Amino acid sequence: MTAEPPVAAADRRVLPVALDAMGGDHGAPPNVEGAVLAARAGVSVLLVGDRVKLHAELGKHAGSAALPIEVVEATDVIGMDEHASDVRRRTQASINVATRLVKDGRASAAVSMGHSGATMASALLTLGRIGGVERPAILTHLPARGGFTTLLDVGANADVKAAYYAQWARLASVYLRVVEDRENPTVGLLSIGEEDHKGSALVLEAHALLREQHGRGINFHGNVEGRDIFRNTTDIVVTDGFTGNVVLKLAEGEAKVLFGWVKEALSGSLKTKLGGLLVRGALRGLADRMDPSTYGASLLIGVRGLAFIGHGSADARAVKNALLRAARAHESNLIPRLEAAFQDQAR
Binding residues for a second copy, rule: CB under 8 A, are 144-145, 155, 158-159, 190-192, 198-201, 203, 225-231, 239, 241-243, 245-258, 260-262, 265-266, 268-269, 271-272, 274-279, 281-283, 285-286, 289-290
Query: Cα–Cα distance between 53 and 75 in angstroms, integer?
Result: 11
Q: 13 or 227, CB closer to a second copy?
A: 227
187 sits in which H/E element:
strand 186-190
- Beta carbon of residue 273, minimum distance to a second copy (angstroms, whole number): 9
Q: 31 or 157, CB closer to a second copy?
A: 157
- Beta carbon of residue 243, minimum distance to a second copy (angstroms, whole number): 5
- Beta carbon of residue 192, minimum distance to a second copy (angstroms, whole number): 4
* CA-based end-to-end distance of the chain: 41
DSSP state string for 132-183: T-SS-EEEEEEEETTEEEEEE-SSS-SS--HHHHHHHHHHHHHHHHHHH--S
- Beta carbon of residue 268, minimum distance to a second copy (angstroms, whole number): 6
Residue type, 179: V
Q: 132 or 226, CB closer to a second copy?
A: 226
Q: CA gyration radius for the chain?
A: 21
Instruction: Residue count of the chain, please give it.
Output: 347
Q: 50 or 228, CB closer to a second copy?
A: 228
Specify the 3-state DSSP secondary structure of 296: coil
CB 114 within 8 A of CB 24: yes
Query: Cα–Cα distance between 319 and 112 in angstroms, integer?
Result: 9
- Beta carbon of residue 153, minimum distance to a second copy (angstroms, whole number): 11
Helix axis angle for 316-331 and 28-40, nearest 10°, is 50
- Beta carbon of residue 292, minimum distance to a second copy (angstroms, whole number): 12
Q: In 3D, which of 166, 212, 164, 208 has the Cα closest to residue 187?
A: 166
Q: 13 or 271, CB closer to a second copy?
A: 271
- Beta carbon of residue 152, minimum distance to a second copy (angstroms, whole number): 14
Q: 105 or 276, CB closer to a second copy?
A: 276
Q: 40 or 230, CB closer to a second copy?
A: 230
Query: Cα–Cα distance between 156 and 24 in angstroms, integer?
Result: 18
